[in-house]
């Protein structure tokens, strides 16, 4: 049976006041839940990236080295994410997803506040670890819930809106970071009792508190019933771990290629914000403050545009008879990403550098919802959470673990010149984009066969 067929997704049952009644898919309540999920995703990115704006004051207050700060910034977060993601993926498939998200939002918000209370290296590292553990819940929860709330036709658009969370969170952290820091200084003047906190510490407190408010709104959301092929006689039967890994192995040609794309996309996705601002500052002599707000605006505008344009392009390809439309649209985008990345060293000034990064961000954002749709379209309902957690885990692990470090290594060991960072960034991102493009192109026939099986043809 097709888990994503219009018939299966046409109606949902919801219990309100003890009465059961049908709620149409794509209803106002579906869009409201999607809004809260997207807001959760965006807030997670803001909480995650605030530390990047506070390097010098944190190092000064805690008297730590660059190496220690990089441990807090990267390893403390990603190691926690790696451990927690598969666990949350499994919990999402067998327990109440709304409660998992509420617990995650409250936990990472509290740990963000705790970051602001840290007085030494280990306290901040442990708080950062807690943020990483709890934020790992968002993506698998959303990838399990959203297909339950939207019809097959609306699902790509819904997934693209959720994917906007990364663009909103990333862009907002750049744009609003300075404003939050400035406001924190004002709050200390208003409330003398907080004068013992440094400005950077109070900034963490201010960023962490909105999550607790979001959790209150999430409490008003009811867990939707699961609609999947594992249901029998009205009873849900979650897959065992053996069944889940059995399906992954059976479809390893499909999942393996999509996870390879996840790894390559993670490199590009994380290398650009990590090194492109440095490239603009070093090579083109643009002030750091100017780079911050300009790249922030570009991320919001072009990242959002690419994310929303993806489903439209996929729909046009579907109307032309391409059964592999989501992957084909993603491949078109990554061809563009490769070309824009290749152009990085040849930018001649401020505006050409902004134009190139706008193109990269647009092309990298376009496939996000399409790949999520392809995964959900091909995955049985009882294991969507686990599959989504593996995808997110691959993006984060390879992206953080390989991408930025590879650029630094090429700059130092191959070129031996910090002004060649643009060439290093280009080589690393072009290589990753080429690998991702290969993974997509070779997955076309496999995805088409899966669609034929699902649709009973």
The tens digit of pLDDT for each residue in 55-90 reads: 678 888 898 876 687 778 778 888 888 889 899 999
Same domain, 393 and 320: yes
Last residue of a domain, one of 226, 249, 264: 226
pLDDT band at 9 (very low <50, low <70, confident <90, very high): very low
Structural domain span for residue 288? 241-457
pLDDT band at 178 (very low <50, low <70, confident <90, very high): low
Within-domain flag for 145: yes
Same domain, 204 and 274: no
Rounded distance between C-alpha atoms, residue 345 and residue 153, angstroms:
41
Rounded distance between C-alpha atoms, residue 144 and residue 386, angstroms:
9
Last residue of a domain, one of 226, 252, 272: 226
pLDDT > 90 fraction of the chain, expressed in percent and rounded: 37
Query: Residue 209 corresponds to which tokens in the numbers above?
Result: 């508190």
Within-domain flag for 451: yes
Rounded distance between C-alpha atoms, residue 15 and residue 13, angstroms:
7
Which pairs from 282-289 meet CB under 8 Å and 24+ separation? 282/418, 282/419, 282/421, 283/353, 283/419, 283/421, 283/422, 284/347, 284/349, 284/350, 284/353, 286/350, 286/353, 289/178
Same domain, 357 and 391: yes
Does 454 have pLDDT greater than 80? no
Same domain, 394 and 324: yes
Within-domain flag for 379: yes
Same domain, 64 and 174: yes
Same domain, 71 and 139: yes
Within-domain flag for 19: no
Residue, of 404 and 322, whose pLDDT is higher: 322
Same domain, 316 and 258: yes
Strands 19-24 and 11-16 come out as antiparallel
Within-domain flag for 255: yes
Query: Residue 394 corresponds to which tokens in the numbers above?
Result: 């691959």
pTM of the model as a whole? 0.76
Mean of pLDDT over the chain: 83
Same domain, 269 and 311: yes
CATH code where residue 444 lies:
1.20.1250.20
Does 354 have pLDDT greater than 80? yes
Within-domain flag for 98: yes
Query: Residue 220 corresponds to which tokens in the numbers above?
Result: 């008003």
Contacts of 55 (CB under 8 A, 6+ apart): 69
Does 274 have pLDDT greater than 80? no
Does 98 have pLDDT greater than 90? yes
Last residue of a domain, one of 162, 191, 226: 226
Within-domain flag for 17: no
Within-domain flag for 87: yes
Cross-strand pairs, 19: 16
Same domain, 75 and 36: yes
Same domain, 282 and 148: no
pLDDT value, residue 152: 81
Same domain, 149 and 71: yes
pLDDT band at 163 (very low <50, low <70, confident <90, very high): confident
pLDDT value, residue 210: 87
Same domain, 323 and 427: yes
Say how many domains are in the chain. 2
pLDDT value, residue 66: 65
């Amino acid at each position: 049976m097709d888990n994503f067929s219009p018939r299966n997704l046409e109606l949902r049952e919801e219990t309100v006041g003890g009465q059961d009644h049908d709620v149409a898919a794509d209803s106002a309540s579906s869009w409201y839940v999607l809004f809260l999920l997207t807001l959760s995703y965006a807030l997670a990115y803001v909480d995650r990236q605030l530390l990047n704006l506070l390097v010098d004051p944190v190092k000064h207050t805690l008297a730590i080295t660059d190496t220690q700060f990089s441990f807090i910034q990267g390893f403390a977060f990603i190691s926690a994410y790696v451990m927690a993601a598969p666990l949350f993926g499994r919990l999402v498939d067998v327990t109440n997803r709304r409660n998992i998200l509420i617990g995650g939002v409250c936990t990472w918000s509290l740990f963000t506040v705790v970051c602001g209370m840290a007085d030494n290296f280990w306290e901040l590292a442990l708080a950062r670890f807690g943020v990483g553990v709890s934020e790992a819940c968002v993506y698998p929860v959303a990838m399990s819930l959203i297909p339950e709330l939207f019809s097959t036709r609306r699902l790509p658009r819904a997934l693209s809106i959720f994917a906007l969370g990364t663009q909103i969170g990333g862009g907002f952290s750049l744009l609003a970071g300075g404003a939050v820091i400035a406001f924190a200084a004002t709050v200390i003047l208003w409330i003398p009792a907080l004068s013992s906190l440094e400005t950077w510490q109070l900034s963490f407190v201010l960023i962490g508190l909105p999550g607790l408010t979001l959790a209150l709104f999430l409490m008003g959301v009811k867990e939707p019933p699961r609609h999947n092929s594992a249901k029998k006689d009205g009873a849900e039967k979650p897959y065992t771990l053996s069944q889940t890994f059995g399906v992954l192995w059976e479809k390893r040609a499909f999942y393996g290629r999509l996870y390879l794309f996840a790894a390559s996309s993670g490199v590009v996705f994380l290398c650009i914000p990590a090194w492109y601002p440095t490239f603009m500052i070093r090579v083109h002599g643009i002030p750091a403050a100017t780079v911050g707000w300009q790249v922030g605006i570009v991320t919001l505008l072009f990242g959002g545009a690419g994310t929303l344009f993806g489903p439209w392009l996929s729909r046009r390809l579907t109307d032309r008879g391409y059964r592999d439309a989501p992957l084909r649209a993603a491949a078109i985008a990554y061809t563009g990403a490769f070309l824009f990345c290749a152009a990085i060293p040849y930018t001649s000034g401020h505006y050409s550098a902004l134009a190139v990064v706008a193109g990269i961000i647009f092309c990298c954002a376009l496939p996000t919802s399409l790949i999520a749709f392809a995964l959900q379209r091909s995955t049985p309902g009882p294991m969507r959470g686990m599959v989504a957690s593996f995808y997110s885990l691959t993006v984060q692990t390879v992206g953080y673990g390989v991408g930025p470090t590879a650029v630094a290594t090429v700059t130092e060991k191959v070129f031996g010149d910090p002004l060649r960072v643009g060439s290093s960034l280009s080589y690393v991102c072009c290589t990753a984009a080429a690998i991702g493009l290969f993974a997509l192109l070779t997955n076309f026939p496999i995805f088409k066969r899966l669609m034929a099986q699902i649709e009973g043809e």
